[in-house]
Amino acid sequence: MLATGSPAEQSNHWIDEDKFKFTIGTFSIDDDSEFRLTSSTLGRGTEVSFEDDLGLEESNEVVRLDGHYRFSPRHRLEFSYFDLSRDGKAVTTRPMIIEDTFFPRGSNLSSKFDYQVLKLAYAYSFWQTEKIDLAASGGLYTFDVGIEVKSADGKQEGDEGTAPFPMFGLHLDYRLSKEVYFSTSFEYFAIEEDDFEGELTDTRIGIEYRPFENIGFGLGYNAVTIFTEDTDGDDEFDYEYDGILVYLSWNH
């Protein structure tokens, strides 16, 4: 039963029924990824598609972990972790410059694309009723990236790094009934500074059914776009992925 007063003053079930949440699920995604690594000696690098040029699979299924800790009715900490790493083999149909190495047409290549995501965020629920929780968030979307390309004749090239993007977003949780929850969120960040540009968007929508006191089942959709560019060195990383998330949740 709602307490009297404005929505900002109301006390409700969120801290009692949704204090801790942990989910584990299968994230089935479609990938579209490209990169360019330019050489100071060989000139502008080739724009390379992981899928079309290097033979990496266009779809992938991974284990994904998500959760939050609501330490007061309006304040919570959130996290996500998953690993989208892939590898592949291909014979090049065109010559390619990847950083300081030239791979002629017809090269037999084996490639690895390591990509792990860790998201940590703080969210504040600025509008809260018995059915609605609307929150603003801020945090870090950190991805570890490693690119490695090898040819059968011993040539090897690649790069790796960690990119922490500060993210800002809006989150809506809607309680359709005591057992059914709808949720959606949108997070965004863009930067343009000196010789670096970057942009990241993360959109998610889902529904969860909780037939038992602490156990639920969820279905969701998540789409992410990432673009970074070193305008001085002409390096570029462009990655888009989206997919269906099916998960089991523990709530307390």
Number of other residues whose CB lies within 10 A of the CB of residue 8: 11
CATH architecture of 15-251: Beta Barrel (2.40)
- Predicted local confidence at residue 1, as pLDDT: 36
Give which of 144, 145, 117, 147 is closest to 54, Cα–Cα: 147
pTM of the model: 0.89
The residues near 168 (Cβ < 8 Å, ≥ 6 apart) are 136, 137, 138, 187, 188, 189
Cα dihedral sign, 20-26-32-38: positive
Judged by DSSP in three states, 14 sits in helix
Indicate the pLDDT class of residue 64, thresholds 50, 70 and 90.
very high
Give which of 120, 93, 122, 124 is closest to 106, Cα–Cα: 93
Mean pLDDT value across residues 227-251: 91
188 pLDDT higher than 60: yes
pLDDT in tens, 88-132: 999 999 999 999 999 999 999 999 999 999 999 999 999 999 999
User: Cα–Cα distance between 90 and 108 in angstroms, integer?
Assistant: 6
User: Cα–Cα distance between 182 and 176 in angstroms, integer?
Assistant: 7
Indicate the pLDDT class of residue 6, thresholds 50, 70 and 90.
very low
